[in-house]
Chains A and B, each alone.
Chain A
Amino acid sequence: MRTHPSVSRRSVALTVTGGLLAAAGMAGIGPSGAAASSHREAPLIAGAPQYDTTDVYAFRSPDRQDTITLIANWLPFSEPAGGPNFYQFATDARYNIKIDNDGDARPDVTYRWTFKDNYRSRDTFLYNNGPVTTLNDENLNYYQTYRLTQIRDGREQVLVRNRIVVPSDVGEGSMPDYEALREQGTTNVGTGNSRLQSFAGQAEDPFFLDLRVFDLLYGGDLSEAGDDTLAGFNVNSVALQVPQRMLADGRDAEDNPIIGVWSTTDRRGVNGRYRQVSRLGMPLVNEVVIPVRDKDRFNASNPRRDAQFLDYVTKPELPKVVEAVYDFEAPKEPRNDLVSVFLTGLEGLNQPEGVRPSEQLRLNMSTPVTDDPDRLGAVAGDAQGFPNGRRLGDDVLDIALQASQGVLLGPDQDPESGDDNLGDGVDVNDVAFGDAFPYLGLPARGSDDAPHDEAQMNRAGAAGSADNGAGWLPSFGDGSGISSQVVPATALGLGLVALFAGVAGMVRRPARRTRSIA
């Protein structure tokens, strides 16, 4: 197990994202560049993490398969030891998850969360005045409440009002049984199979990657990678489990199973009007596909007008960078193969009929839930994984990098050696996900001495896919129920990867390849 004594995780978090995201209140810095994960988006947003969507997840709930679970996160890099500096949702913002269920790039269903601050006593800035054992505990001096509204066909319906946001885990002494608080934080709406479940509160950041993978943009080197640089940082999450028919066009999930999902944040201006300041659907798009100079524009944009960003998809910057660093020839442009991945969904898997191209996380709600999810998702033949929706455990970064392995390693690669796979060396999140709603990992505790060290313990060996072909030609196994749906290799393998490695039609030269050693 390697450690990097010379580079503290915190400084990686700080600088990789350029946005100095670490603890609230740091004199941070604005614009910064490299494409990093959503944890560093538009310059302006990077400085306002309360408004900055970091990730969106949408998946068929494994334990209630007639429902879909939607999750969105904000406030990346929340240090567990936040002290009196709690991580709250903004009260002048509207947090939205939007659903396009007919492929026209307009939201048909919107779920909107708004938040309020509450103080039991205004005389103290203390978060709590003693141990907090229930959400309604008098000792919890400051707490937030939320309202959840569904907007559909121009009608607004309040689904949840005035429920408590599960507070930040400030530590053992203050919250002896945090798990109990988490459980109390799940609200049920309705009964039977129309029951919804809703949650808002803190969670460990489910995204896992080594942010240094993005250093390759600056001539960095992947041998440095291998730590979950997000380990032990928390986020603020909203999660909603909702029956499929509530999301489907015509409320018919059988005939119209494909939905597109994205999240936005609106912020109120001095003039009283709300403006969209953040937008996120597919992971990595906001940080890898859209160049820095256009991030604010993208964040304010609406999917109907995504044609304006088309060139970034068809002529991506990254393969050129990879070409320079790794000596692989970037594929020919225009990259129409990428269009299906990022803008339309994959034919036969999650592409709606007559789709208007726009960047959304597209999910086929009818794809059966697998008992054995593969972290490499659809690329490894697990059709229920990213980019068909996104589960918490989908290794989106490696899906992109690993899919290119066969090409990167050449035909003479020894299939026995699992550690030659190009990747960031981080295959699993540092904390386990739950098997019931809201599925999110419990937040790292404020009383934990070294919250960021767990990743070291949990790093998986580079478990590359056993079959080198798998990255290329997804073979949907038995029981996948979609054998008829052939996912074009170019779309998946090339699509995702090419972004990084420019695989299509790549000509291999002697590469200065580095290994990710687990």
Chain B
Amino acid sequence: MNRTPTYVAVLATALVLSVGGALGLAGGAPTDSGATTGPAATPAVAPAGTSQSLDETITALQDRLRRLPEDDSAWATLALAYVEQARLTGDPSYYPKAEQAVATSLDLRPGGNVAAHSSAAALAAARHDFDEALGEADRALAIAPRDGNALAVRVDALTELGRYAEQERAVRRADRLQPGLPVAARYSYVEELRGDLTGATRVLERSLASASMADRAFLSTQIAELERRRGLLGRAERSLAEARRAGPDYFAAEVSRARLAVAQGDLTVAERRWAGVVRRVPLPEYLLELGEIQLVRGRTAAADQQFSVIRTTTRLFDASGVNTDLETAIFEADHGSPARALRMARAEWSARQSIHVADALAWALHVNGRDAKALELSRRATRLGTQEARLWMHRGLIEAALGRAAEARRHLRRGLAADPGVSPWQAAQARDALQRLDR
């Protein structure tokens, strides 16, 4: 499940401008997870020798603030840098720092402080508080209607709140007011959510034509994600090679390479790559992918180790004010406590009704034996026609439990076809169910 990191990413990125103009948000690398967030962000990683590392940026800002502690916009910028840093490192302890920097900026300039509200919106979204993100984005836009960052975060917030009609209007408006890669990336995600992977790819490819090197790593990676899900593994591999040329250590590309190894059926390589991903950014959704591959390969003890790290990490996120209920609910449903899964999914559902939350709640209801209610939610989760493996597998499994064999077969097949890079443990559940149906 690609929620947390992605979101973090999203925001960070969304708000973060990189010099190459790379900003990105990106269509969420939809993963197989039931909980993909939209845009995944682009850490603008530039070719060696040109990139100014985020650390250096943060140090420069801190130096400036020691000299000029009243520079409200530098405080707001620093907040954004911390949000981005949290995303790149997976270390949530940057969020409280970001919060403090935003507060300082607002103290210095309480009125008309676009940058602070923009950064606050990014921070809230990174912490999955999408109501707050929407509120802050709207506050920024009330002051500066063309603020690109706020326009972008607003789209993200509406997406995660499950307000899809508004999401579409917001993205068109953003494109009218502030065209650019951040908007294009979200535009692509709008199409992807509605099941149009070809259209989503086309938007990204158009952006690629005028993208800086830094943006290319991000765009090529997103294109590779879409190509893999369309079953075009050779093309996905080429796109990832492009991404490597453009940004040799671009993190999102590593995640995509791990999924590609799964799609190519090489679980040895896949496990090695996922382990590399986790070493770099130990987020729960990545740990879950690694653990599930290890389960499939019969390495139960290793898998248990990942799962216990997930529990620890989750506690850490909670302490930093990051809401991880959605990720945790799905993890608990499959590998932990069904009761806790349901509690968390319900809590999240009361806050927002996106398709991914609907899916998490459906699945939590199912593992608690509440299949009729689960089907209702699962239908909501698939209502946009989103081509994500887990949404359809869950629906098929729930239908199978209800004895609706024909629908179950159709949806399980659809789920298995949706993404060959989906977690092999998840795919195995779906395949076993299909076999039982066909017996």
Chain A interface residues toward B at CB < 8 A = 7, 10-11, 14-16, 18-34, 43-44, 46-51, 77, 79, 81-86, 88, 90-93, 117, 125, 215, 218-220, 267-271, 275, 277, 291-297, 299-300
A43 to B74, CA, bound (A): 12
Q: Does B22 contact A (CB under 8 A)?
A: yes
Q: Does B84 contact A (CB under 8 A)?
A: yes
Set of chain A residues within 8 Å of B247, measured between Cβ atoms = 25
Partner of A277, one of B18, B51, B178, B209: B178
Partner of A270, one of B64, B143, B187: B187
User: Is B214 a contact of A125 with CB atoms below 8 Å?
Assistant: no
Partner of B52, one of A14, A47, A270: A14
Taking A27-B54, A44-B149 as known contacts, 12 extra A-B pairs with beta carbons closer than 8 A to each other, sorted by chain A number, are A18-B74, A25-B18, A25-B50, A26-B18, A28-B18, A28-B44, A32-B76, A33-B76, A88-B212, A269-B176, A300-B146, A300-B177
Chain B interface residues toward A at CB < 8 A = 15-23, 43-54, 56-57, 59-61, 63-64, 67-68, 70-74, 76-77, 80-81, 84, 88, 112, 114-115, 118-119, 143-149, 172, 175-180, 183-184, 187, 203, 206-207, 209-210, 212-214, 245-247
A88 to B54, CA, bound (A): 23
Contact status of A29 and B17, CB under 8 A, knowing A34-B73, A81-B49, A292-B115: yes
A512 to B114, CA, bound (A): 32
A198 to B212, CA, bound (A): 25
Set of chain B residues within 8 Å of A10, measured between Cβ atoms = 60
Which DSSP category, helix, strand, loop or mixed, fits chain A's interface?
Answer: loop
A321 to B212, CA, bound (A): 38
Set of chain B residues within 8 Å of A14, measured between Cβ atoms = 52, 56-57, 60-61
Interface centre among B21, B67, B81, B172 (most CB of A within 10 A): B21
A50 to B147, CA, bound (A): 18
User: Is B68 a contact of A219 with CB atoms below 8 Å?
Assistant: yes
Residue of B with least CB distance to A82: B50
- In the A-B complex, the 8 residue pairs with the smallest Cβ-Cβ separation, listed nearest first, are A47-B17, A25-B46, A33-B73, A25-B214, A269-B179, A44-B148, A26-B52, A31-B115
A82 to B46, CA, bound (A): 10
User: Is A93 a contact of B63 with CB atoms below 8 Å?
Assistant: no
User: Is B176 a contact of A220 with CB atoms below 8 Å?
Assistant: no
Min CB gap B203→A, angstroms: 6
8 A-B contact pairs sorted by A residue (CB < 8 Å)? A15-B61, A20-B17, A25-B50, A25-B247, A44-B17, A117-B209, A270-B203, A297-B144
A293 to B114, CA, bound (A): 6
Contact status of A85 and B209, CB under 8 A, knowing A29-B77, A31-B119: no
Interface centre among A15, A79, A86, A277 (most CB of B within 10 A): A15
Contact status of A31 and B210, CB under 8 A, knowing A25-B51, A277-B178: no
Interface centre among A18, A26, A46 (most CB of B within 10 A): A26
Contact status of A277 and B114, CB under 8 A, knowing A27-B18, A29-B81, A270-B187: no
Contact status of A277 and B179, CB under 8 A, knowing A26-B57, A30-B16, A85-B20: yes
User: Is A15 a contact of B177 with CB atoms below 8 Å?
Assistant: no
Partner of B73, one of A32, A93, A267, A294: A32
Set of chain B residues within 8 Å of A294, measured between Cβ atoms = 144
Min CB gap B131→A, angstroms: 22
Interface centre among A16, A88, A218, A300 (most CB of B within 10 A): A218
User: Is B76 a contact of A49 with CB atoms below 8 Å?
Assistant: no
Set of chain B residues within 8 Å of A50, measured between Cβ atoms = 21, 210, 212
Set of chain A residues within 8 Å of B52, measured between Cβ atoms = 14, 20, 22-23, 25-28
A292 to B22, CA, bound (A): 21
A268 to B246, CA, bound (A): 23
Partner of A83, one of B50, B147, B183, B184: B50
Min CB gap A294→B, angstroms: 7
User: Is B57 a contact of A27 with CB atoms below 8 Å?
Assistant: yes
Contact status of A34 and B71, CB under 8 A, knowing A16-B64, A83-B50, A91-B209: yes
Set of chain B residues within 8 Å of A125, measured between Cβ atoms = 245-246
A18 to B172, CA, bound (A): 29
User: Is B74 a contact of A32 with CB atoms below 8 Å?
Assistant: yes
Residue of A with least CB distance to B140: A31
A20 to B57, CA, bound (A): 7
User: Is B16 a contact of A44 with CB atoms below 8 Å?
Assistant: no
Residue of B with least CB distance to A124: B245
Partner of B50, one of A23, A43, A220, A295: A23
Set of chain B residues within 8 Å of A32, measured between Cβ atoms = 73-74, 76-77, 115
User: Is A33 a contact of B187 with CB atoms below 8 Å?
Assistant: no
A291 to B68, CA, bound (A): 19
User: Is B23 a contact of A24 with CB atoms below 8 Å?
Assistant: no
Min CB gap B170→A, angstroms: 13
Min CB gap A53→B, angstroms: 14
Min CB gap A485→B, angstroms: 40
Residue of B with least CB distance to A269: B179
Set of chain A residues within 8 Å of B176, measured between Cβ atoms = 269, 271, 275
Residue of B with least CB distance to A83: B49
Partner of A220, one of B15, B43, B67, B180: B67
Set of chain B residues within 8 Å of A31, measured between Cβ atoms = 73, 76-77, 80, 114-115, 118-119, 147, 149
A85 to B213, CA, bound (A): 6
Residue of A with least CB distance to B144: A293
Residue of A with least CB distance to B84: A27
Min CB gap B125→A, angstroms: 14
Set of chain A residues within 8 Å of B203, measured between Cβ atoms = 270
Set of chain B residues within 8 Å of A46, measured between Cβ atoms = 17
Min CB gap A371→B, angstroms: 41
A5 to B178, CA, bound (A): 40
Contact status of A270 and B112, CB under 8 A, knowing A28-B16, A33-B71, A48-B17: no
Contact status of A29 and B57, CB under 8 A, knowing A24-B213, A47-B21, A296-B146: yes
Residue of B with least CB distance to A44: B148
Min CB gap B251→A, angstroms: 11
Set of chain B residues within 8 Å of A28, measured between Cβ atoms = 16-19, 44, 52, 57
User: Is B19 a contact of A22 with CB atoms below 8 Å?
Assistant: yes
User: Is A11 a contact of B60 with CB atoms below 8 Å?
Assistant: yes
Min CB gap A165→B, angstroms: 14
Min CB gap B185→A, angstroms: 10
Partner of B212, one of A15, A25, A93: A25
Min CB gap B164→A, angstroms: 18
Min CB gap B199→A, angstroms: 11
A49 to B51, CA, bound (A): 15
Contact status of A270 and B146, CB under 8 A, knowing A29-B80, A31-B76: no
